[in-house]
Structure 1
């Protein structure tokens, strides 16, 4: 049995001396929140790195969704995917917006535009698609539907950090795209998130909303809430951003090591051909739920803890019933497992995980990645 726990992901903690230097600065200034210098610096650096404008840092990814809905005046019903983390749906419910589910493409795992159009009613005001596992939705089709019916579009890009579509940032699509900077993500600020708005005026409105509607020492101009990122979060983000190239390249090595052993064994997500890979997750699809559960148990016995992202399908949640069954999402959710992936996962651990899976398929012997495969995947990166 493996003596250490291997979780689905591991938080990357950057160089301690560099982070301490930022903390020393905070102790000097005592400016720890309310749009401090680190938040402003991180905003500018992220806009440059991601190739976007109108980026607003917030306290977490769920608040990013809620602020985006409020800024854009979304009410009534919003069409969204049943195959996502629960926050995509719960943020709508929390904001008094009814989620209406449209089933997913069984290959890409992203919402199917054909099903979006079928789900539109007179109460529909928005579409909330998800770039699942960093895989781009069919953005042109979705944007065309939104334009045809006069709907707002808020993309959940929690997994899409650094993803480009046809050479441009994927985050530019829709009226807004949100990101999550939770500690489990590729890029993180411990907790945190961001919204990228298409329009400058929406950014300015959202700035007021995240600070209680205050626009000056003695002036409150609108309803608001507290959703600001603090300086400690921003300091962590600045340190992680300094190391993001190495993080992505090492995750690429892990991703391609898995692929070299499993590509002909389990079904993989069909990725949009116009995007790069940010290597945020490694999802595999098994033939049956029973097979998944058996393999998961064997991995757990070796102190390996993958996650059933995303399970259950959100259309099955008790507090949303009654719902039309989203058959494809329910099927995929029952058979999908995200394997452990982080920048520093040991090759021997990867092979142990793969051999556990391969044993279920009655492969004989221990499989090792051949030398040519290793030479290939170590050279691949986000930027190639």
Structure 2
């Protein structure tokens, strides 16, 4: 079976070595030695100032919205994972969708201003498949209208834009370290920001609002990551370059061997060092996508329809609004299998099936 992704399992002996440290310390949670070490290693690797590791990738979005959004209207993208929109609704804010760019697949920055009202408090944009939004344009719009900028960078670990970590853009960026990501802690995530005062507020908000054992700064929830999760991160991290190179090679194989007469791939924004987090292809229509998907499934190959459906069509969003580009792309885009252990023979089989069906 070839799934769309496969969790990278580091050598078990290396993980056990980290677990032994936990047993020796007798410390499982509340920001132990391994969590602090992983934060330091990630700060150095990513060249960021402030990072807080958390137990998953959604809690950081919710905390950022709680602190920055003030229950207002949030300009956002309809083309993302459901967590982007559900976090907005969960925090009693209102999503205001702006359609996407047909090639980059990120929010169309030229359509943001017309969606702003006196109730707008923030922009929550997704770096889709690790492809950066037009961060310069979004920053100018945010400054002009006094809005906060939150980036859902769940797919963006290791991405640099203009020689700077993608996590350095916006007021806050969040990332997922879920098991399907190219760097993972099993479950996990992180929040990044540049401002020290905001960082401190984010920090106490992820730990019940604590100011020491008995005092409280203010309202908070529990977003803390465990030592067990940090142990996995510390074990995976030394293999990151190898994982990235394998995924890069797989993407190059797809790009070299697929016939692009009737399909196209995502356009990566200029000046981006991409992380090969996903490999989406876009068909001419949904019928072709479904035909290709059916034949691949029959061969025990399981790509996935990221991101389908367009989030403006979700019933509990309850918005009667059309997003024609997002809805169109969502109906005919699929992500092909991409993970470290994918063999050349498997890549060849996938390409041959797709090419034969599109002739």
Query: Which TM-score tier does this pair reach, normalised by the shorter chain?
Result: over 0.9
Shift of 1:332: 0.1
Query: Aligned partners of 1:326, 1:74: CA distance in 2, in Å?
Result: 26
Q: Give, in whole Å, the separation in 1 of the partners of 2:69 and 2:346.
A: 48
Task: Could you tell me which runs of 5 or more consecutive residues in structure 2 were left unpaired when the two chains were aligned.
Answer: none
Residue aligning to 1:290: 287
Task: Tell me, yes or no, if structure 1 residue 181 matches structure 2 residue 197.
Answer: no
Aligned partner of 1:66 in structure 2 is 62
2:81 equivalent in structure 1? 85
Residue 232, structure 1, aligned to residue 228, structure 2: yes
> Which residue of the partner structure matches residue 153 of structure 1?
149
Q: Counterpart of 2:27 in 1: which secondary structure?
A: coil
Question: Please, what is the CA RMSD of the aligned residues?
Answer: 0.9
- The structural deviation recorded for 1:74 is 3.6
Deviations 1:113-167 (A, max 9, x none): 1111111011100000110011111000000000000000000101111111111
Matched residues in 1 for 2:260 and 2:296: separation?
20
- Match of 1:129, SS? strand
Q: What is the total number of aligned residue pairs between the two structures?
A: 358
Matched, 1:345 2:342: yes
CA 1:263–1:150: 2 relative to 1, 3 Å: farther
1:336 maps to which of 315, 333, 337? 333
Which range moved further: 280-289 or 161-170? 161-170
In the alignment, the residues of structure 2 paired with residue 111 and residue 37 of structure 1 have an alpha-carbon distance, to the nearest angstrom, of 39
C-alpha offsets along residues 209-262 of structure 1, whole Å, 9 cap, x if unaligned?
111111112212311111000000011111111110111011111110111012
Contact kept? 1:210, 1:225, Cα under 8 Å: yes
- Which region of structure 1 is more displaced relative to structure 2, 90-99 or 204-213? 204-213
Query: In the alignment, does 2:246 pair up with 1:255?
Result: no
Partner of 2:27: 31
In 2, Cα distance between equivalents of 1:263 and 1:161: 29
Structure 2 matches for 1:90-239, cutoff 5 A?
A: 90-239=86-235
Shift of the 68–322 alpha-carbon distance from structure 1 to 2, 3 Å rule, reads closer
Judge conservation of contact 1:74–1:152 (CA < 8 Å) in 2: no
1:303 aligns with 2:300: yes
Q: TM-score, normalised by structure 1?
A: 0.92
C-alpha distance in structure 1 between counterparts of 2:161 and 2:92, whole Å: 32
User: Which digits, 9 at most, give the CA deviation of each residue in 1:183-231, with x for residues without a partner?
Assistant: 0001000000001112011111111111111111221231111100000
Q: Which whole-Å deviations, capped at 9, do the CAs of 1:156-183 have from their partners, x for residues lacking one? A: 1011111111111111110010000000
Q: 2:319, 2:282 → 1: CA distance? A: 28
